[in-house]
Chains A and B, each alone.
Chain A
Amino acid sequence: DAKTTQPTSMDCAEGRAANLPCNHSTISGNEYVYWYRQIHSQGPQYIIHGLKNNETNEMASLIITEDRKSSTLILPHATLRDTAVYYCIVREAAGNKLTFGGGTRVLVKP
C-alpha cells in the first residue's frame, strides 16, 4: 500500500473549518483514501473514504485532487470534541489490511 505524509500537528479554532492535508504521491489507481481518527485513548474511528470523487458524510468532507496525489479532510465546524489524532491511509479495495502512519494531532482551541 502507498505511504502517506501528514503534518505532525495542527491547531484549529472552534467553530471554524479544519482542513487536514495528506500527501499520497505514490498512490495507484486501485487504492482508496481512508480517514480515521483516534480520540484520546479510544480505538480509531472511521470517518470517510474515497477513490477519486469528492465525498461528504455527516462527519466530514473529503477532497481528492484530480491527480489523486493528495487529499484534504475537511471538518466543517470544528468542535472541542474533534480534538484527536487523524490518520490518512491509502489501501487497495481488495486488500484488507489498514496500515496506520503517525497521523496528525489536531487540537481544537476555544
Chain B
Amino acid sequence: GAGVSQSPRYKVTKRGQDVALRCDPISGHVSLYWYRQALGQGPEFLTYFNYEAQQDKSGLPNDRFSAERPEGSISTLTIQRTEQRDSAMYRCASSLEAGTGLGKLFFGSGTQLSVL
C-alpha cells in the first residue's frame, strides 16, 4: 500500500479482555516497529522486527504484551488481560532498511485503545 496501515483505528474493550492490533507496513520495508503514546507525551518504543525476527523487545512493559511478524510483513501486537493503564495510542512504523538503516521511519495513523 501507499503507507503504513493500522487496524482497527479505534478499539474499546473491557478490562481483562485480550486485544490484537494489526499493522500492515509499506510493501518491501524490512523493519517494523511498535510504539505506544500517551496523551501529551512522545512515542515510547515497544519492540521491533527485521523481517520476521524480533530484534528488540526491551520496551514491552510486561509479559501481557507480545508481538509477532510471522511472514516478515504484517505484524500483530497482542495485549492479554488488558488493564486500564494500557489505554493509549499504539503506533506502528516501518523502514526500508535494516541493520545500518538510517532511521527514516514511516508511521501509521495508530490504533487508539481504550480499556474500560
Residues of A in contact with B (beta carbons under 8 Å apart): 32, 34, 36, 41-46, 49, 85, 87, 89, 91, 93-94, 96-103
With the chains together, A91 CA to B102 CA distance in Å?
A: 9
Pick the contact of A43: B31, B59, B108 (CB < 8 A). B108
27 intermolecular pairs with C-beta atoms under 8 Å apart: A32-B102, A34-B103, A41-B89, A41-B110, A43-B4, A43-B93, A43-B107, A43-B108, A44-B107, A45-B107, A46-B105, A46-B106, A49-B104, A85-B42, A91-B103, A93-B102, A94-B99, A96-B50, A96-B56, A96-B98, A96-B99, A96-B101, A96-B103, A97-B33, A98-B33, A100-B43, A100-B44
B51 touches A (CB below 8 Å): no
Further pairs besides A42-B107, A49-B102, A94-B99: 20, Cβ < 8 Å: A32-B103, A43-B4, A43-B91, A43-B107, A44-B91, A45-B107, A46-B104, A49-B104, A87-B42, A89-B103, A94-B100, A97-B48, A97-B56, A98-B33, A98-B45, A98-B105, A100-B35, A100-B43, A100-B45, A101-B42
